[in-house]
Structure 1
Amino acid sequence: MSDIITSKNLDDIIESNKKIRDDVIRLVNETKVRFNTSVVTSADRFAFKILKENNLIQMPVEDKYFGGAIIVKGNLRIPIINTAQPRVYQYFVAWHEIYHLFYDNNIQNETHEVKIDMEINERMADYFAANMILGNVYDYYYSLEDENFIDRIIKCMDVYKAPYKAVLIQLYEDALLKYNDSNLKKSILNNFDNQPENLIGKFEELGLDSELVKPSYLFDTGDLEKRIVKNIKGNPEVTYHEDNYKHFLNIKRTVKKLVEDLSYDNR
């Protein structure tokens, strides 16, 4: 497992962001032009629209570290989202996987696992995801009247539907590179490794919709299975629809086993 991002290496992460920022912004702009012809304004819905058009499978996997994976079978890439994770992580993982699906030339015949906690060697994908989700977090943070630092961060998570660390990294980058905000930097470093354990309770305490930090437990194999079943019912005499369905079920079983193996490896 790669090293995760902590308060101790946060400055190194910002240096990495500086080096890749121009490339990431270019990919963000390309993604919006290439995929958002329907002008979907919600970042999370936009991400899932893209993935559903590219064989997305959503399934609950009871593993606290497993966020998702991309399964490569020949020319087919199948993104997996773990719906046993809170929705706020599902949304971030979705954009992370979109980076790997369309812009990562290193994924070929293998299984690429996505962890929930940010890892150093996934900086390009995570920075892409953050830039697809987050807006001007710094200004929003300072527009809030709450005196408590954590309460402000929770409200940022709510507005941008972004994970705790993603919000803090973006704030830290702005505080360091744009505003030289030493007080905010200190608050971030003091709290970076201490995400509240009961996010549901914190959201409800602040009058926010806690569904964002709850799992969805959705199981969905996407439109492909539905199309095949519809063709079988509409044309029962055509045998190749049955063959396609058997092939799909075989892929589904393979994916399930691969996900179970990944989950077992994390124990």
Structure 2
Amino acid sequence: MITQKNLESLLKLNESLLPEIREKLMAIRMNPDPLLAQKPLEYVKTVLREEANVIEFPVPHDSYGGLVYYLNGRFYIHINTGQPKVYENFMWAHEYYHFLFDRDKLRDRNHHYMFTDGILDPDERLPHLFASEFLIDNHILRRKFAYSQKAFANESLALQIIRLIPTFEVPYKALVVKLAQEQLISIEQAKEVVDFSYRDFLPDDVSSSLLEPTRTILIDSFEQLLDAAKEGLHDDDLRAIQAQFASHLKKIKKWKEVCREGI
């Protein structure tokens, strides 16, 4: 977790990793696909769904964001949809980095990437920094932050930053780090606001929906996976597996509805 205590160390680590990340981003942005330029997050989702098997599934664990691994010739990516939407968005870009740049490591059966909270671990800092640079455009950030400071000059810095969340749909702390990294705020200012309880002080014109989980359930290409898995199975075994899957899915959907009712 990013806090006042580790923020300065985090920014120094970011500074050392930025040249590598920006070089990789430059290569990606040479792709003429209009989707990449207009909707970068949707571009990431589309690429991953086209080239890997994506599983969207809620996991009730605050520090677990997702997982990417390789098995039997396929890449599998799990996105935890039990986390707030802004974190889920960030995780799509995070796992895209692993899928794109760690493919050879992932083919090693003993190697996988699971995002937890190793905030100063360079192996996880690279994809985190990539996600930030990919999803937060510098020009848009400068323009929107300047507007927020001017239009809401009587508000605190923390509230001015909160107002950026709907534009970028990324976590509050990612915006604090990015603003400090781009020297739009000082390190001392960033330290003062990074631990702010932003959930409790949302302006009336900022929707709380981005801070809630979607709890989406999607098993990508399930029928294709089932066709591959059922080769050599007896009919009775296959029916038993299908019945068990249907039963588990029914329980999960019921749990999902209970969670929604509790919001």
* TM-score, L = length of structure 2: 0.74
Change (3 A) 1:25 1:148: same
Matched, 1:112 2:113: yes
Which structure 2 residues correspond to residues 189-204 of structure 1 after superposition, within 5 A?
Answer: 189-198=191-200, 202=202
The residue that corresponds to 2:163 in the other structure is 155
Instruction: Give the one of 168, 185, 188 matched to 2:176.
Output: 168
Residue of structure 1 equivalent to 2:94: 96
Structure-2 change in CA distance of 1:211 and 1:47 (3 Å): farther
Cα distance change on mapping 1:37 and 1:226 into 2, 3 Å? farther
The answer as to whether partners of 1:7 and 1:192 remain within 8 angstroms in 2 is yes
Give runs of aligned pairs for residues 27-106 of structure 1, distance below 5 A. 27-34=24-31, 37-40=33-36, 41-53=38-50, 54-104=52-102, 105-106=104-105
Q: CA deviation at 1:97?
A: 0.6
Give 1:226 deviation, angstroms.
Answer: 4.4
Could you tell me which of 231, 241, 244 is aligned with 1:243?
A: 231
What does residue 141 of structure 1 align with?
145
- Gaps of at least 5 residues in structure 1 are 233-239, 257-267
Residues 221/32 of structure 1: CA separation in 2 closer, same or farther (3 Å cut):
farther
Consecutive unaligned residues of structure 2, counting only runs of 5 or more, are 249-263
Deviation, structure 1 residue 160: 0.8
Decide whether the 8 Å contact of 1:153 with 1:164 is kept in 2.
yes
Q: CA deviation at 1:6?
A: 2.5
Q: Name which of 216, 219, 242 aligns with 1:218.
A: 216
Residue by residue over 1:33-55, the C-alpha shift from the partner in whole angstroms, topping out at 9 and shown as x without a partner, is 45x62534123212211221221
Do the aligned partners of 2:77 and 2:95 also contact (CA within 8 Å) in 1? Answer: yes
Letter of the structure 2 residue corresponding to residue 149 of structure 1: L
Cα gap change, 1:9 to 1:68, in 2 (>3 Å):
same
Amino acid at match of 2:120: I
Contact 1:118 1:126 in 2 (8 A): no
- Say whether 1:123 aligns with 2:131: no
Q: Which amino acid aligns with 2:189?
A: S
SS of aligned partner of 1:66: coil
Amino acid at match of 1:243: E
Q: Take 1:218 and 1:7, find their aligned partners in 2: how far apart are those partners?
A: 33
Tell me: CA distance 1:113–1:25, structure 2 relative to 1, closer, same or farther (3 Å).
same
The residue type equivalent to 1:59 in the other structure is F
Which amino acid in structure 2 is aligned with residue 218 of structure 1? T
Q: Give the Cα–Cα distance (whole angstroms) in 2 for the partners of residues 131 and 221 of structure 1.
A: 29
In structure 2, do the counterparts of structure 1 residues 228 and 79 end up closer, same or farther at CA, with 3 Å as the change threshold? closer
Report how far residue 191 of structure 1 moved.
Answer: 1.8
> Aligned pair in 2 of structure 1 residues 27, 244: CA closer, same or farther (>3 Å)?
farther
Q: Could you say what secondary structure the match of 2:35 adopts?
A: coil
Q: Is the 8 A contact 1:66 1:82 kept in 2?
A: yes
Query: Does the C-alpha gap of structure 1 residues 56 and 241 become closer, same or farther in structure 2, counting only changes over 3 Å?
Result: closer
Shift of 1:26: 1.7
Once residues 150 and 118 of structure 1 are traced to their aligned partners in structure 2, the CA distance between those partners, rounded to angstroms, is: 25
Aligned-residue sequence identity (percent) comes to 20
CA shift in 2, pair 1:211/1:63, >3 Å: same
Q: TM-score, normalised by structure 1?
A: 0.73
Per the TM alignment, residue 24 of structure 1 is displaced from its structure 2 partner at its CA by: 0.6
Structure 1 Cα separation of the partners of residues 191 and 232 of structure 2: 53
Where has structure 1 moved over 6 Å in runs of 4 or more?
none
User: Can you list the C-alpha shifts for 1:200-231, whole angstroms capped at 9, x where unaligned?
Assistant: x71xx331233221111111011x224567xx
Q: Tell me the number of residue pairs that the alignment of Structure 1 and Structure 2 aligns.
A: 225
Instruction: Return the letter of the residue paired with 1:120.
Output: L
